Amino acid sequence: MEQVKLTVALIIAVLLQWTLRNIAEPLMYVDFVLIVVVYAALQRNSLRAILFGTFSGLAVDALSGGLLGANGFTKTLIAYIVSEIARRVYMDNLLLRIPVIAGACFLDNALFYGLHRLLGQEMSGDFWINISYALIGTTVAGTVIYIFFDSFLTEKASNRKREIFPARRSSRRRNPIRLGK
Amino acid sequence: MVERSQKEVWKLTPWLVLVLLLGNFILMAFSAKDITSGQRLIRVWGLTVADFVQSPVATVSSGMTNYFRSIANLRTAQDENTQLKQQVEELQLELKAKEGLTAENERLKNLLDLKDQSKYKVLTARIIGRDPSIWFDSAVINQGSLNGVKLNMPVVANGGLVGRVTAVSPLTAQIDLLTRDKSGLGAVIGQVGVSNALGVVMGTSKSGLLEMKYVPGTTDVQVGQAVFTTGQDGIYPSGLKVGDIFDAKSYGSSQPYQILIKPAASLDSIQEVGVLLYEPPPTVPFDQKVSTPTKEKKK
């Protein structure tokens, strides 16, 4: 069930990435796809995270003016790195996730820029300005989204709910007519 | 070596197949190109699929924006109403005066046998999406090859050049804005055919500004002058307004100017654009134009 929820979240993230810049220009600095990919990687399922990274990256690339596969490459690599870190270090604390999403955002943009420069592609905008805005936007949005995900998406949250509000034990009512016998 | 159980291998195999298929698909997409347009098929498919999402979102968002804007406008409507009534009276007087001038103009036109000529057909399009990446300036419009849009067609808005079409799907098309570094175009400061201040206009890292290169230092360049296309780049027709000179630095007559241009169209907030259904005249390859002596000898 968690996998289905995360997949739906990823599809919504791709759709938001496609459309939100048209509604408000500053929203382009929030990388919704990266936020979901990093979240998937933090769940310690590297195979799922890598596939999420590849597919969502390619979906973004298909509509971007950049090289096809560049986002796929960076997001796959980041998903792998984050999942490997999450496998070794306990990262269920939200405070620990903030530097992870910030680092992932920086690495994603730096790699994306580097790949394009390596292949002789010209890009618009200043590197440091773009990366700074992206870092702020993605980290802030990522923190809020992770709080939302933690309360609604994961199995752990529903388990916790079950512990707090346990279901009443239902016992079969005995037939009052037979009670006298 | 870690030994995997048969169950684990069974679980992993479909994923492995999927990854391999994906790898193959990417390779195919890279090599596959549309025969007629020479575009990558994956981009055409992507644009077509995205249209089903972007078009409704753009419609809903613009509808909501207009709704809230209209509520905000109601507040100032009363003051505006009285001002407008006054203006209407003034304009009615002006109109009467101009009616006479129009009649005179018509008469003179007939006399000179002039006809209204529009140079290019314009296809109106709405911007339904912007580049999802922060590193590129492109946009998606809701007109595609079914409406007659072709690769490299110029796009204009508010009387100024916006960019050109770089990818076309049946329902949508992608345009690269002028501010993108890649798009360089031949331009001239002042009127085409009159001025000799020729140069190349390119995007800059400064948002919203363009740079004009290679303008000789011997020419006279002033801030505020208009810049037009020359048509020599083989993409844009001549005479389209690119923008006005924002800043010009001179380094002596031996070195070219460093010129910054403010685009005529407000590229950050464009909602509707016009695609000029213009195709540049076919260029003859250089070796066909000039027959080299060696080739003639061989014949």
pLDDT < 70 regions, chain A: 153-181
The CA radius of gyration of chain B, in Å to the nearest whole number, is 27
pLDDT tens, per residue, chain B with 299 residues: 455 665 674 566 457 545 755 665 564 456 445 545 556 666 777 777 777 777 787 788 778 877 887 777 777 787 788 788 888 888 887 887 788 788 777 766 655 554 444 467 888 888 888 888 888 888 889 889 888 898 889 898 877 888 889 888 888 898 888 887 566 788 888 877 777 788 888 887 666 788 888 888 888 888 888 898 888 778 888 888 888 898 888 888 788 888 889 888 877 777 788 898 888 777 666 566 555 555 444 44
Claim: this prediction has a pTM higher than 0.80: no
User: Which of B18, B39, B59, B135 to mutate to probe the A interface, most A CBs <10 Å?
Assistant: B135
CB contact under 8 A, B57 and A22: yes
Q: Which domains does chain B have, with CATH numbers?
A: 122-276 (2.40.10.340)
ipTM for the whole complex: 0.70
**pLDDT at residue B248, rounded to an integer:** 86
Q: Give residue B107's pLDDT.
A: 62
Token representation of residue B2: 């870690």
Q: Give the contacts of A104 (CB within 8 A, at least 6 positions apart).
A: A34, A38, A78, A81, A82
Buried b / exposed e across A82-107, counting CB within 10 Å, b at 16+? bbeebeeeebeeeeebeebbbbbbbb
Q: Beta-strand (E) ranges in B104-240?
A: 122-130, 138-141, 154-157, 160-168, 173-177, 185-189, 198-203, 210-213, 226-229
Q: What is the pLDDT of residue A142?
A: 93
pLDDT given for residue B137 in this prediction: 81
Strands, DSSP E only, in B131-177?
138-141, 154-157, 160-168, 173-177
Cα–Cα nearest to B273, from B177, B202, B168, B187? B177
Q: Nearest by CB to B129, which of A63, A72, A134?
A: A63
Phi then psi for residue B40, to 5 deg, are -75, 130
Q: Chain B residues with CB inside 8 Å of A55's CB?
A: 22
Q: Find residues 60-119 of chain B whose CB sits inside 8 Å of chain A.
A: 61
Per DSSP, the three-state class of B54 is helix
